[in-house]
Amino acid sequence: MVALARTASSGERLREIDGFLTQACADLAEHDDRMRGVAVDVRFDRGVAHLTGDVADLRQLRLVKQLVGRFDGVLAVWSRIRVGGREPVVMDLGCGAAKQYPENLGLDLRRADGVDAQADLSGALPLADNSIDVIFTVHILEHLIDFLSLVDECHRVLRPGGTLHIMSPWWGHVNAVADPTHVRLLDVQTIKGICSRPPGTPRWYPLHAGCDGASIFADLTPLEPGDPEPTSSHLARFFE
């Protein structure tokens, strides 16, 4: 369950957790038959798992992300894995000069070294339906008064099985209010609200959601019409 009172973890503690998670993943690769022959590298950075490499198909990709994401201390699973030899199409929204991976496509309102195309993120994205595999919104939602319109656009452009990665300052940390361009405060419970919207709105399944005391994280995948809602036991992993 998510606690309302949090203290940001120290850098030293986060490094120790990353070391624990690295060893846990090495043990998983060595002893779990489901990981035999899977050519995936896992790197941890402050509780975020970064996955690169190759898998045969989407089923195998889902399995790897699920197994890595089950470890206590994993806040998110960020991936640039090739599926069946195909490079994923990965988009960084509002990236400026700081893409999460250098190969990502960068979309931002203003020109910068990492921006490949310009667009106003408060409006429609200049992207085709079902055209993107992974979308990063890192320190973006807190700058938008109506961030749900952007989340809905992400749902439209993501391919089935795609992932939306969210990272934003947690409302209880000074970083949330220190930047005067921040117009929204977010919590892990905000992610629950995104995943619990009424019928007729784009629906999401939470793969992960968490908070390290300074930032909130979420990995969401779009639900298609007819897909079942996440179970109460699954939601209880992340939300009050």
Confidence tier at 195 by pLDDT (50, 70, 90):
very high
Specify the pLDDT at position 240. Answer: 86
User: Letter for the amino acid at 121?
Assistant: L
Specify the pLDDT at position 6. Answer: 63
What one-character DSSP code corresponds to residue 186? Answer: B
User: Mean pLDDT for the chain?
Assistant: 92
Specify the pLDDT at position 1. Answer: 40
pLDDT per residue over 85-111, tens digit each? 999 999 999 988 888 888 899 998 888
The residue among 8 and 114 whose pLDDT is bigger is 114
Report CA 177 to chain centroid distance, whole Å: 22
The vertex-40 CA angle with 95 and 168, nearest 5°, equals 30
Sign of the CA dihedral with 38 first, then 162, 184, and 98 last: positive
Q: What is the pTM of this model?
A: 0.91
**If you average pLDDT over residues 53-75, what whole number do you get?**
93
Gap between the Cα atoms of 188 and 190, Å rounded: 5
Gap between the Cα atoms of 62 and 93, Å rounded: 23
Highest mean pLDDT (candidates 102-106, 176-180, 226-230) = 176-180
Contacts of 129 (CB under 8 A, 6+ apart): 156, 157
Specify the pLDDT at position 78. Answer: 95
Write out the DSSP string of 174-185.
THHHHSTT----
pLDDT per residue over 206-227, tens digit each? 999 999 999 999 999 999 888 8
Specify the pLDDT at position 68. Answer: 95
- Would you say residue 51 has pLDDT above 90? yes
- Would you say residue 4 has pLDDT above 70? no
User: Letter for the amino acid at 91?
Assistant: M
**If you average pLDDT over residues 126-143, what whole number do you get?**
95
Gap between the Cα atoms of 57 and 73, Å rounded: 27
- Would you say residue 137 has pLDDT above 90? yes
Domains and their CATH numbers in the chain: 11-235 (3.40.50.150)
Give residue for tokens 């309102």.
109
- Would you say residue 24 has pLDDT above 50? yes
Confidence tier at 3 by pLDDT (50, 70, 90):
very low
Gap between the Cα atoms of 116 and 114, Å rounded: 6
- Would you say residue 174 has pLDDT above 50? yes
State the Cα torsion 15-19-25-27 to the nearest 10°: -170
Q: Could you tell me which residues are beta bridge partners of residue 221?
A: 205
